[in-house]
């Protein structure tokens, strides 16, 4: 405020006279119009940014809202991870064929992948406040009721419904999490526009995937496939929490973003996310079989390997956000992709005699490296499409991630022909493809306000702060003003 509220100091700094003098005889008439337009842009910029600098009194902090959305994300993706965990028990209890079992996995993948971009467009066009809460509730209801359901078509339809709930959640939650990260500004808890904050939200999904087999295996082993009803309460509780804590309309409106959508780098980013998703689903599907049939380890070590990989994924997602806040988004994507190749290669070619130590270490490293770009890609996608954060989240969190599940049958055919080690050989060829695509990424353009040139504490494009009466000279023209007004400053004084 000190820069913009002291027009009497302008002559002392040998700058141009105040704006009111610009209409004096001898002065050009053009500055009046330009300063009027500048003042209008100033008031527009002030209205745009004021809510982010002054959060509503009593409202939850941005980090508190971010942890709420991360927890809801964990609950939502828990149901996505429960589908492959439940499929073996449908085979054992209902005597489904392998084709029928794969149909359940396909139903979940179709329900969660295909609708997400279209739901994202609706989220960007309309303010569907309860959609994320409804999505997590539908995901839980579909999965929870699939176990007690009798006929196969009913089970298939309920799992498809659960996938649709996942699709409803991701675009709305991704947009809301972005708004939560930006809503507080520097005074709201330090989460504003932070990749680390968005990585917390993304890591919630990794936690859900990790918890799915951990929780499902003992429940289903003890009570059969009907025990899926035990997983209903988390969805209902998460939906209630989201409905109760959703931000007011005014705060969400203040988080509206402007800018130019850049579809070309976004499509490159989508390709990288698809490659990462295929690698991720390939590892989680075949890592236990790799331990059992290639390394000749026991079931306990095989389960431990999957758990270690998933825990490494959670750590990698959080670590990627911290790295990106320091090294940049694109560099972080490249670092993680580059590190994935030696991690997978070490896992693939580690001798079986070392099954108790080295392979577990490489499994953890692969989980970390593969997930370092995850949260970064989510935020980078929203930066590339600043006016469509819901669409971006629907692709990076939904469509691109679920594609890995659709490619799983092809990896299964590879395993039939060459064993699980053949699958990991194929997976080692994927990181170079992602790294080649990453060369075409670029850092996102600076976020634009109604006036591009913005200085700390001033409105964009002018030297006038929000709420200051009267326009003031443009700071960008200050050096030129000094040169022109220096001979006049003494007379003006």
- CB 102: neighbour CB atoms within 10 A? 15
Which residue in 352, 369, 356 sits closest to 427, CA to CA?
369
> What's the first-to-final CA gap in the chain, in angstroms?
24
d(Cα 348, Cα 426) in Å, to the nearest integer?
A: 10
**Spatial contact of 75 and 208, defined as CB atoms under 8 Å apart:** yes
Q: Is the pLDDT of residue 189 over 50?
A: no
Q: Is the pLDDT of residue 8 over 80?
A: no
Task: Tell me what the mean pLDDT of segment 289-303 comes to.
Answer: 83
55 versus 260: which is more confidently predicted? 260
81 versus 471: which is more confidently predicted? 81
Task: Tell me what the mean pLDDT of segment 444-468 comes to.
Answer: 47
pLDDT of amino acid 239:
93
Which residue in 122, 158, 154, 152 sits closest to 139, CA to CA?
158
d(Cα 431, Cα 397) in Å, to the nearest integer?
A: 19
pLDDT of amino acid 480:
43
Long-range CB pairs of 261-264, under 8 A, 24+ apart, other chains included? 261/384, 261/385, 261/386, 261/387, 261/388, 262/384, 262/385, 262/444, 262/445, 263/384, 263/385
**How long a stretch of residues is the chain?**
493
248 versus 150: which is more confidently predicted? 150
Confidence of residue 188 (pLDDT cuts 50, 70, 90): very low
pLDDT of amino acid 364:
94
Q: How high does pLDDT run on average in the chain?
A: 76
Residue 460: which residues within 8 A CB-CB, separation 6 or more?
A: 41, 42, 45, 449, 450, 451, 452, 453, 454
The encoded tokens of residue 12 equal 């002392």
Give the tens place of pLDDT for each residue, 406-421.
787 788 888 888 888 9
60-256, CATH topology level: Growth Hormone; Chain: A; (1.20.1250)
Confidence of residue 354 (pLDDT cuts 50, 70, 90): low
Q: Is the pLDDT of residue 476 over 80?
A: no
| Pure H helices in 194-246 | 195-223, 232-245
pLDDT of amino acid 407:
80
134 versus 113: which is more confidently predicted? 134
pLDDT of amino acid 142:
95
pLDDT of amino acid 263:
92
Which residue in 408, 221, 196 sits closest to 323, CA to CA?
196
Task: Tell me what the mean pLDDT of segment 270-280 comes to.
Answer: 91
pLDDT of amino acid 183:
62
pLDDT of amino acid 136:
94
Q: 24-33, 333-342, 373-382: which range is least confident on average?
A: 24-33
**Spatial contact of 183 and 254, defined as CB atoms under 8 Å apart:** yes
Q: Is the pLDDT of residue 399 over 60?
A: yes
Q: Is the pLDDT of residue 349 over 60?
A: yes
Percent of the chain residues topping a pLDDT of 90: 28
Angle among Cα 210, 119, 401 to the nearest 5 degrees reads 35
CA–chain centroid gap for 356, Å, is 35
pLDDT of amino acid 31:
46
Q: Is the pLDDT of residue 23 over 50?
A: no
Confidence of residue 143 (pLDDT cuts 50, 70, 90): very high
Task: Tell me what the mean pLDDT of segment 210-236 comes to.
Answer: 90
pLDDT of amino acid 482:
42
Q: Where are the domains of the chain?
A: 60-256, 259-445
Q: Is the pLDDT of residue 130 over 70?
A: yes
Which residue in 56, 123, 109, 53 sits closest to 80, CA to CA?
109
**Spatial contact of 155 and 149, defined as CB atoms under 8 Å apart:** yes
Confidence of residue 487 (pLDDT cuts 50, 70, 90): very low
259-445, CATH topology level: Growth Hormone; Chain: A; (1.20.1250)
Q: 139-143, 197-201, 243-247, 484-488: which range is least confident on average?
A: 484-488
Give the tens place of pLDDT for each residue, 36-75.
544 544 444 444 343 444 444 445 566 778 888 889 999 9
Percent of the chain residues topping a pLDDT of 70: 71
407: burial class by Cβ within 10 Å (0-12, 13-18, 19+)? middle
Q: 204-213, 242-251, 310-319: which range is least confident on average?
A: 242-251
pLDDT of amino acid 343:
95
Q: 24-28, 170-174, 332-336: which range is least confident on average?
A: 24-28
């Amino acid at each position: 405020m000190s820069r913009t509220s002291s027009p009497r100091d302008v002559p002392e700094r040998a700058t141009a006279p105040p704006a009111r003098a610009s209409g004096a005889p001898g002065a050009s008439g053009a500055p009046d119009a330009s300063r009027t337009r500048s003042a209008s842009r100033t008031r527009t910029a002030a209205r745009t940014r004021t809510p982010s600098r002054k959060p509503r009194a009593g409202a939850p902090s941005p980090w508190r809202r971010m942890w709420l959305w991360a927890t809801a994300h964990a609950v939502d993706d828990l149901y996505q991870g429960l589908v492959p965990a439940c499929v073996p028990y449908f085979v054992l209890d209902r005597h489904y064929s392998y084709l029928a079992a794969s149909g359940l996995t396909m139903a979940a993948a179709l329900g969660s992948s295909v609708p997400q971009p279209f739901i994202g467009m609706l989220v960007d066009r309309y303010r569907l406040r309860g959609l994320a809460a409804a999505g997590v509730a539908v995901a839980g209801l579909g999965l929870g009721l699939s176990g007690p359901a009798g006929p196969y078509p009913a089970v298939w339809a309920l799992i498809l419904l659960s996938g649709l709930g996942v699709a409803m959640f991701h675009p709305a939650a991704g947009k809301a999490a972005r708004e939560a990260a930006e809503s507080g500004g520097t005074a709201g808890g330090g989460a504003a526009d932070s990749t680390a904050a968005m990585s917390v939200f993304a890591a919630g999904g990794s936690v859900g995937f990790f918890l799915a087999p951990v929780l499902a295996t003992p429940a289903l082993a003890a009570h059969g496939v009907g025990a899926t009803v035990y997983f209903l309460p988390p969805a209902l509780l998460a939906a209630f929490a989201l409905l109760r804590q959703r931000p007011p309309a005014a705060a969400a409106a203040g988080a509206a973003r402007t800018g130019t959508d850049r579809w070309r780098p976004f499509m490159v980013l989508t390709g990288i996310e698809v490659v990462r998703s295929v690698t991720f689903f390939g590892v989680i599907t075949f890592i236990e079989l790799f331990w059992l049939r290639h390394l000749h380890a026991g079931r306990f070590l095989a389960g431990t390997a999957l758990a270690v990989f998933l825990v490494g994924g959670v750590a990698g997602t959080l670590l990627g956000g911290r790295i990106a806040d320091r090294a940049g988004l694109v560099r972080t994507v490249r670092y993680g992709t580059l590190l994935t190749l030696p991690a997978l290669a070490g896992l693939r070619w580690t001798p079986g005699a070392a099954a108790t130590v080295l392979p577990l270490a490489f499994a953890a490293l692969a989980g970390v490296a593969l997930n370092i770009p995850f949260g970064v890609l989510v935020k980078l996608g929203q930066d590339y499409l600043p006016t469509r954060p819901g669409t971006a989240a629907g692709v990076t969190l939904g469509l691109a991630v679920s594609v890995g599940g659709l490619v799983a049958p092809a990896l299964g055919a590879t395993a039939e022909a060459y064993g699980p080690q053949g699958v990991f050989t194929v997976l080692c060829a994927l990181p170079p493809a992602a790294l080649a695509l990453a060369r075409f990424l670029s850092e996102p353009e600076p976020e634009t306000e109604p006036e591009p040139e913005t200085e700390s504490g001033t409105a964009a494009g002018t030297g006038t702060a929000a709420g200051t009466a009267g326009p003031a000279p443009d700071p960008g023209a200050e050096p030129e003003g000094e040169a022109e007004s220096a001979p006049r400053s003494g007379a003006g004084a």
